[in-house]
């Protein structure tokens, strides 16, 4: 099988490429390296079944050629990370919406299977926890740029499902909940690699807000297995699935666990959202997925708990001296 991964030099994309290469498939990557890195795919470059193109998902002729060559398309290319989203809202919207439009348009011409990665951010300020795929989505005001990412990814979902209904494009949508693991960068606000880097350097571990907000962190290896399983199922087309862990932890408790596991002397300090991001920044107090749909569909069960995830990230950070963070 021939696989195209947009955003393939990124954190999740590179692990997905690994999984398909190990399966013996041929892999094509497209990435502009805006947030991805060649280091993530360096180990694959000598394999004759691996191909990469450094270009933008906005480049319609390049996307068209790659889509023609492949059987399945994973569309992962997107603006990522709260810090990047707050600082570059125009880039966030244009990258997420126009890039997805190009990929779906070209895939529809050839009837190729597509998996579109969306985000738990689309649940917004909903308090109907755990979040179900058929639940209501509650976004904040348009005057708060923090919600531009959620809105752009939600528009991606609507567009993908419209292509399924109107043009019969076999596309599946997944909402990822805080996927973490080796190779993830902390540059754009990703909390676990940021905490680990700070702890290993014995710098203050900076918790934004009061630290009582809670999240569930899914291991990238578990998530990739689910992505592959979904694209192997033709009856997944037209469906939306949550993918993530249901092991909930507060951000304060996460900081304390990182400090303990790294044996760090770092103090844990809290920084108000207004100082960390922007005045009036809003965050969701809890983000917990209902994963019963994907469990029933492909038998998905996260196998990696939080401390195992942290061990992997800590080891990766130590081996790279923080250079990939």
Mean pLDDT calculated for residue range 278-304 = 92
Marked catalytic residue, from 74, 123, 149, 163: 149
Looking at every residue in the chain, the average pLDDT score rounds to 93
The residue-averaged pLDDT of 56-65 equals 97
What mean pLDDT do residues 124-145 have? Answer: 93
Concatenating the DSSP letter of every residue in 124-152 gives BT---SSB-TTS--B---TTSGGGHHHHH
Residue 86 parent element (H or E): helix 82-87
pLDDT at res. 90: 84
81 falls in which pLDDT band (50, 70, 90)?
A: low
CATH architecture of 2-179+217-246+287-304: 3-Layer(aba) Sandwich (3.40)
Structure confidence at residue 88 (pLDDT) = 74
Report residue 58 CA to chain centroid gap.
19
Check whether 120 has a pLDDT greater than 50: yes
User: What pLDDT is recorded for position 257?
Assistant: 98
Q: State residue 79's pLDDT score.
A: 75
Start-to-end C-alpha separation, the chain: 33
pLDDT for 145 = 80
What pTM, to 2 d.p., does this model score?
A: 0.94
pLDDT in tens, 230-274: 999 999 999 999 999 999 999 999 999 999 999 999 999 999 988
Q: pLDDT at position 325, please?
A: 42
**Among this protein's residues, is 188 annotated catalytic?**
no
Q: What is the pLDDT of residues 31-52, one digit of tens each?
A: 999 889 999 999 999 999 999 9
Q: What is the pLDDT of residue 312?
A: 97
Preceding peptide of 130 cis, ω within 30° = yes
Which residues have C-beta within 8 Å of that of residue 206, sequence separation ≥ 6?
194, 198, 269, 270, 271, 276
Residues facing 52 on adjacent strands? 29
Whole-angstrom distance, CA of residue 30 vs CA of residue 33:
9
State the number of CA atoms in the 13 A half-sphere of 50 facing the CB: 18
In this prediction, residue 315 carries a pLDDT of: 96
Residue 181, CA distances (Å) to 123, 253, 289 in order = 23, 18, 19
């Amino acid at each position: 099988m021939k696989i195209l991964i947009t955003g393939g030099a990124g954190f999740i994309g590179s692990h997905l490429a690994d999984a398909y290469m190990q399966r013996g498939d041929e892999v094509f990557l497209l990435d502009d390296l805006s947030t991805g890195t060649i280091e993530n795919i360096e180990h694959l470059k000598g394999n004759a079944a691996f191909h990469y193109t450094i270009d933008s998902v906005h480049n319609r002729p390049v996307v068209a050629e790659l889509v023609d060559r492949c059987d399945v398309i994973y569309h992962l290319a997107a603006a990522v990370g709260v810090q990047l989203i707050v600082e570059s809202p125009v880039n966030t919207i244009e990258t997420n919406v126009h890039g997805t439009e190009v990929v779906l348009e070209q895939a529809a011409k050839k009837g190729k299977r597509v998996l579109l990665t969306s985000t738990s951010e689309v649940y917004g300020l909903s308090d109907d926890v755990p979040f179900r795929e058929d639940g209501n989505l509650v976004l904040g005001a348009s005057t708060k740029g923090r919600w531009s990412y959620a809105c752009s990814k939600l528009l991606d979902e609507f567009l993908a499902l419209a292509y399924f209904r109107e043009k019969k494009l076999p596309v599946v949508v997944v909402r990822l909940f805080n996927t973490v693991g080796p190779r993830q960068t902390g540059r754009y606000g990703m909390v676990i690699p940021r905490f680990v880097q700070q702890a290993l350097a014995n710098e203050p571990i900076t918790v934004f807000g009061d630290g009582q907000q809670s999240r569930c962190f899914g291991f990238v290896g578990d998530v990739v297995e689910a992505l592959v399983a979904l694209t192997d199922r033709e009856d997944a087309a037209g469906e939306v699935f949550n993918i993530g862990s249901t092991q909930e932890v507060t951000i304060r408790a996460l900081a304390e666990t990182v400090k303990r596991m790294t044996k760090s002397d770092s103090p844990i300090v809290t920084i108000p959202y207004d100082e960390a991001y922007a005045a009036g920044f809003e965050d969701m107090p809890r983000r917990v997925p209902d994963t019963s749909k994907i469990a029933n569909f492909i038998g998905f069960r996260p196998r990696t708990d939080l401390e195992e995830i942290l061990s992997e990230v800590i080891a990766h950070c130590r081996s790279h001296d923080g250079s990939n963070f």
